[in-house]
Amino acid sequence: MKKHELVLVIDFGGQYNQLIARRVRENNVYCEILPCTTDIEVIKAKNPKGIIFTGGPNSAYLENSPKINKEIFEIGVPILGICYGVQTMAHTLGGNVRRGNNSEKEYGKTQITYSESTLFEGISTNTVWMSHTDLIDVLPEDFKIVAHTNDCPVAAMENTEKKLYGVQFHPEVEHCLEGDKIIKNFLYNICEVSGDWTTDSFIDDKIKELKEKIGNKKVLCALSGGVDSSVAAVLVHRAVGDNLTCIFVDHGLLRKNEGDDVERIFREKFDMNLIRVNCEDRFLSKLVGVSEPEAKRKIIGEEFIRVFEEESNKLGKIDFLVQGTIYPDVIESGHGDGGASTIKSHHNVGGIPEDIEFEIVEPLRELFKDEVRKIGLELGIEEGLIFRHPFPGPGLGIRVIGTITKEKCDILREADAIYMDELKKAGLYTDIWQAFATLPDVKTVGVMGDERTYAYLVGLRAVTSSDGMTSDWYKMPYDVLEKISNRIVNEVDGVNRVVYDITSKPPGTIEWE
């Protein structure tokens, strides 16, 4: 792949590390996240145009806190430290960091006063987002203060000769007004990047790379119909055409019409070699009487693997296996280096056996989810698929609480379809990170048509989130909830009650099982 300009994000355990990287990418600059323990020679070898230190929950002056090799400040690359990042810069270079007293701690929106600095060119507001207990009270040699607040004397510092900069606040979060300008100033005015990272350049470079890597050999893709595997499949198909075969295992635990939609999109629109394996009865028979969530996951995962193996064995020699691994997967598995990779679990349904003799192709491993969506749209995949809410690999297997039957799955499919339909009609679907219906193993008494009923309860869940790690329940308008409830109770046989989940994560999880 073409070598792009690179900015490194050095991770000190900050909760916003991926957000910083995304902000850099939004400025058309490629970046990678590396742990602060990365060897200095590895950092030098990557030849970055700039380096950003993330925040973190520790205190720079404590012995066991994350440290950085002092040599990093001598390689001549501009560095921006953020929160803990500026504190560890100050501490390492001979300044002093101490714990603030109660009046010196700052959290949330804070008013700041900027001094003249390349970092703050064009900034016209003075509201930033603070989150710190410690503070710098003695600057390292040859640094000067370029911003302060009422309670924080060193809200920003710089050493222009060595191109070292630091801010105590978080310019990467949306609550920091014009924080995006600060990051852009660092990238373009200090690191002097040209901004050569775009979705267009990615697609062209990746297709060329795939053609060179795969040639005329055969490629297999386990297609789930989710965003990542779909975009990966279309990208590889652009490169190798009919040498790609996709296997779509329809285990009967999908949403309403989902299997037909996947088949229509990939077989008809993209003219792919698609094998759809309809095996609802096979999966449901394995799940009879099983109610424990992890047992259900394991059964679904193992059966998926068996079906996948059976179908792939019919195809003869296959050289490559496509996976929809994306950059957050790489980071969460321990900061991958872009080299050989292990086969990851297939969207929470279980791993493909490690002894399968395929070379792994991961065309999206450099991308964040929002970038994957942009690539998907550029490739012509319809918005309905690209912006569809996350769906677990075990599907309705973990949204039907307790034992699973076809009747329960059909009830849940209909209820969920009504829920999604009303969210889209109300223009709320894209405001929500994830929404779904669930069917607890509970029946309640009701009255319909002057007759007593004893029928299922349907639970509705909707959350807002940026990455799924934490979430808050969505404040659904009452009139929309009323329409959804009325339609489900009136249109779905076997349901007489609807409830709405108002639990955040933590303490709850997004899914119920």
Give the residue among 179, 54, 78, 160 at the shortest CA–CA distance from 120: 179
Torsions phi, psi of 9, nearest 5? -105, 115
Lookup: tokens for 45: 């070898």
End-to-end CA distance of the chain: 41
Q: Is 225 annotated as ligand-binding?
A: yes
**Annotated catalytic, 91?**
no
Nearest to 8 by CA among 116, 90, 81, 100: 81
* β strands within 344-492, DSSP E: 359-361, 434-438, 443-448, 451-464, 472-473
**Is 230 marked within a binding site?**
yes
Closest CA to 397 of 338, 361, 456, 348: 348
Of residues 83, 152, 191, 221, which has the active-site annotation?
A: 83
Which of 247, 261, 363, 238 is CA-nearest to residue 314? 247
CB 29 within 8 A of CB 197: yes
Residues 6+ away with beta carbon under 8 Å from 326 = 228, 364, 365, 367, 368, 369, 372
Give the separation between CA 119 and CA 243, rounded to whole angstroms: 50
Q: How many Cβ atoms sit within 10 Å of the Cβ of residue 435? A: 20
Q: Over 194-249, what HEC string results?
A: CCCCCHHHHHHHHHHHHHHHHCCCCEEEECCCCHHHHHHHHHHHHHHHHHEEEEEE
Residue of 5, 32, 106, 172 with catalytic role: 172
Q: Which of 309, 307, 314, 351 is nearest to 329 (CA)?
A: 351
108 marked among binding-site residues? no
- For residue 41, give the H/E element and its range: helix 40-45
User: One of 170, 251, 346, 347 is an active-site residue; which one?
Assistant: 170
Relative orientation angle of helices 478-491 and 406-425, to the nearest 10 degrees: 150
- Residue type at position 136: I
205 is in an annotated binding site: no
Q: Provide the 8-state DSSP code for 122.
A: T
Sign of CA dihedral 82, 88, 94, 96: positive
- What are the distances in angstroms from CA 394 to CA 322, 331, 353, 511? 20, 24, 18, 11
Active site residue 409: no
Q: Distances in Å between the alpha carbon of 430 and those of 134, 258, 266, 414, 433?
A: 39, 19, 24, 21, 7
191 in catalytic set: no
224 annotated among ligand-binding-site residues: yes
Confirm or deny that 154 is annotated as ligand binding: no
Q: So which residues are the catalytic ones?
A: 83, 170, 172
Binding-site residues for ATP, please?
224-230
Binding residues, as ranges, are 224-230
